[in-house]
Structure 1
Amino acid sequence: MKIGQMFMVGFRGTAVDASHWIVKDIVRRHLGGVILFDRNVDGSVQNISSPAQLQVLTTTLQEYGNGRLLIGVDQEGGRVCRLKARDGFPETVSAEMLAGFDDEKAAATADELAATLAAYGFTMNFAPVVDLDCNPDNPIISRYQRSFSGDPQQVVRCARLVIEAHHRHGIGCCLKHFPGHGSAGADSHLGFVDVTGDWQEQELVPFARLIDMDAADAVMTAHIVNRRLDPRGMVATLSRPIITGLLRQRLGFDGVVISDDLQMGAITKKWGFSEAVRRAVLAGVDLLVIGNNLACSRDALQVGIGCIQKMLDSGEIDADYIKASLARISTLQLQTTEKIVSDQGHHIFARS
């Protein structure tokens, strides 16, 4: 089994060749995807500096990935935007601003963003945010205008337009942050966040509606604690009652479940990396994200693969469990890479 397919890893560098460690992970360890950032947390350039540079980078990555590599980015629009106007890319608007547009203008705006991603070789956008804007003091959602609205129906309207625009260009979308980060009063990038006292049942509505519409390619988990959904107080990303019980069984989601970055403070301050991988897999997460933006670990994929292999060898999980995750990831790869690779003129033919 190609366990490396269950990981999406970030790296530092605006160009790669056969000697770069991320390329070795793609070729030797069958890495499932990469996530690109414009800047590191210290402000230095990570992966994206100009349109021409980005075009070469994604083309090269896809060549090493045999046309099957997921290439992801956080391009929500507004403040959360990795392809920035200052680097030569089109301007974008925030989710909050887009929600003020009528359907025609919102669809056109979303289409421009999606077309840009397609033109530069991305296959996956970690958007839209479908968290409700239910706490004006939320330091990571409301403050950055990342939510469409506090009204679930308005969130569904806007999210559907955004997803449809991406699908027209062959790009997959990821609903986030399940089961709802909008009510949080702290930032899970930095540490422990408990929404038990503030979370509302209606925060599930956008996820449920979009899943029912078959509009959700993937769902990203939140690094938040919600004891109303898991009385043990386990972070949602690592919670089987939330991921398998609620998302899979109650809401009927059968697509790819993606973790938020496992290097975020809410995870790293309590669990070691291997334990976080173990718990996420047991919870039901398919694709594990290691951003290498907050920190950089070149051996994370090798360690992660070893952790899952150990779980298999010990009988903690069986092969069919992992094969089911790999099948979901493969379906997403096929859906998103075929059009992007062909439209961009990479002249890559996916090989199994």
Structure 2
Amino acid sequence: MLKFFKFCSLLSLMLTSPFALANGTTPIDEIVSKMTLKDRVGQLLLIGFRGDSVENSESIKRDIQDIGVGSVILFDYDVALKVRDRNIKNPAQLKKLNQDMQSLAKIPLFISVDEEGGMVSRLKSRYGFESKLSPMELGTSESRVVQKEMSKLAGELHENNFNMNFAPLVDVNVNPENPVIGKIKRSFSEDENTVSQLASQMIDIQNKAGIVSVLKHFPGHGSSDSDSHLGMVDVTETWQDRELTPYRDLIEDGKVDMIMSAHVYQRNLDPDYPATLSKKILGDLLRTDLGYEGVIISDDMNMGAIKDHYGFEQAIELALNAGIDILLFGNNLHYDKDTAAKASNLIIRLVNTGKISTKQINDSVTRILKLKRKAGLL
């Protein structure tokens, strides 16, 4: 316990200074250097869990306190059990759950949710929350309606103690029959410039409410004709360069804090690996060509596109070496209460055996902590 308080005191002291230290390092660098490997690895994990309270969960308290996970995600529906009895029941319960989880963390958590509006909404009216228009409906609405709807969504997230939203979705509606994007009205528009404009507006509104925005799904999922939750998706013949426009625009405007990778193959970009596991797509295209310096998070590593084609160890090793900073395990499509512990132990072993470099881990943790500081969490 004394070690915990010493670390927290050091964290608080260093992060109050915006300036480089005498040796040329930044306060964030100093914090990273003082963290154990286990604590650093924990920041690379975003974990889902079962339970509507800390007390009723068999894993979340341990994951936060012992494993040191840096981020969590909440769902209303348990896919594996096929029941609406996961993490979200009503506003009062949700606020307390999020507050209690945050109180357990040595380093403040990113507490996240998928709240796009329309069909992708975890805060549903049946639980006492506001109903929200879908992104496609916003794409054809008057500006005052768009402003009102986006403000309502961001305000509700803030009110319920979330600080990260997996939105806006910036997939361009290239294929209106796309079963996981266009057909369920998740895209703002078939026009890439409209997508950029509405995403920019949503980012601004969420930022004012203290919500980190996550753009998804890079390099574009809007042209697909199948669902990467179920298996591998190849967009080589359908993907269009204009699907990069929202990313390019928003990166140039300095508005992007986090980008989610897509579990899609685009063999003209990388003939061997899907985007989540691709150095060519995440490193060469996103980091170098588009100049993105922020956090990259994977789509759910439990999805069929990854789980059914790569083993647990291989997928994690490839993803981190490709440039993923945060590994997302929704722990919902396939549930395992020990997911966080298994992932942490594996990554530590990969580092100790030289399969993942310490520098790579440190660079990712530095990006994550910089974003947490920017978001007002540190």
Contact 1:195 1:226 in 2 (8 A): yes
Counterpart for residue 344 of structure 1: none
Matched, 1:302 2:317: no
Q: Return the match for 2:208 from 155, 161, 168.
A: 168
Displacement after TM superposition at 1:337 (Å): 5.0
Q: Distance in 2 between matches of 1:336 and 1:299?
A: 29
Aligned residue pairs: how many?
338
- Unaligned 5+ runs, structure 2: 1-36
Query: With structure 2 as the length reference, what TM-score do the two structures score?
Result: 0.87
Counterpart for residue 238 of structure 1: 277
**Which segment drifts farther, 329-338 or 25-34?**
329-338
Counterpart for residue 157 of structure 2: 117
Contact 2:317 2:356 in 1 (8 A): no
Counterpart for residue 321 of structure 1: 360
Query: Any residues of structure 2 matched to 1:52-131 within 5 Å, and which?
Result: 52-66=92-106, 68-131=108-171
Q: Give deviations 1:58-113, integer Å, cap 9, x for gaps.
A: 11111112461110000000000000011100110100011112333312211110
Displacement after TM superposition at 1:298 (Å): 1.6
Counterpart residue identity of residue 78, structure 1: G
Q: Return the match for 1:6 from 44, 64, 68.
A: 44
Cα distance, 1:89–1:18 mapped onto 2, change above 3 Å: closer
Counterpart for residue 46 of structure 1: 86
Counterpart for residue 319 of structure 2: 280
Query: With structure 1 as the length reference, what TM-score do the two structures score?
Result: 0.93
Q: Distance in 2 between matches of 1:198 and 1:64?
A: 46
Moved over 6 A (4+): none
Displacement after TM superposition at 1:317 (Å): 2.8
Q: Is the partner of 1:203 in helix, strand or coil?
A: helix
Counterpart for residue 346 of structure 1: none
Q: Is the partner of 2:55 in helix, strand or coil?
A: coil
Matched, 1:27 2:65: yes
Q: Return the match for 2:245 from 176, 192, 205.
A: 205
Displacement after TM superposition at 1:315 (Å): 2.0
Q: Distance in 2 between matches of 1:292 and 1:309?
A: 20
Q: Distance in 1 between matches of 2:346 and 2:252?
A: 34
Q: Is the partner of 1:143 in helix, strand or coil?
A: helix
**Which segment drifts farther, 300-309 or 158-167?**
300-309
Displacement after TM superposition at 1:18 (Å): 9.5
Q: Distance in 2 between matches of 1:48 and 1:318?
A: 38
Contact 1:124 1:336 in 2 (8 A): no
Contact 2:68 2:106 in 1 (8 A): no
Q: CA RMSD in A?
A: 1.4
Q: Whose Rg is larger?
A: 2
Counterpart for residue 32 of structure 2: none
Cα distance, 1:19–1:168 mapped onto 2, change above 3 Å: closer
Query: Any residues of structure 2 matched to 1:132-143 within 5 Å, and which?
Result: 132-143=172-183
Counterpart for residue 224 of structure 1: 264
Contact 2:49 2:57 in 1 (8 A): no
Cα distance, 1:10–1:19 mapped onto 2, change above 3 Å: closer
Q: Distance in 2 between matches of 1:319 and 1:25?
A: 22
